[in-house]
Amino acid sequence: MLSIGNDSMMTLIIVLHLAGLFVWIGSLLFPLIALKAQPLAYLESLQRVKPWVMGAMALSVVTGTIQIMSLGGFKALPMAFHIKLTLALVMLAITLLQFLYFLPKAQQSLSAGHSAADVNLLKGLTICATSSILCALAILYILASLGIL
């Protein structure tokens, strides 16, 4: 079990974790909502937020790992946290795939004069990634309100 030290340090880690998640999800959703009809502007916006999203993902993974270790490791976690972690890993994988594979492919396709089908695929991946983490948060909220956690 990892000992953090005191409650204020754990509070800081939780705040950093939530800030990372807000930046991660917000950076993906804002271009989708604000620039939904303009494929080129959407791709340029995703390219601009890529460093922020990657940094927020790293921050969320590190602070989440610290939280897990402070609770006694993976064996000590309740099932709801395993579900949340699984959905977070799905979101991580989708986001990495989105930025490392589909974003460059969509930019090449659009610059070559092809249709915006790759851009629509990117938008679909954004919806999948953000909905997976929102489902995880909803599961935790429901279980906590039922007193299961």
Q: What is the DSSP letter of 84?
A: H
Q: Average the pLDDT over 47-76 and give the result.
A: 90
pLDDT grade, residue 63 (50/70/90)?
A: very high
Closest CA to 85 of 12, 17, 148: 17
Instruction: Give just the sign of the alpha carbon dihedral 123, 84, 61, 20.
Output: positive
Q: The pTM is what?
A: 0.76
pLDDT at 115: 67
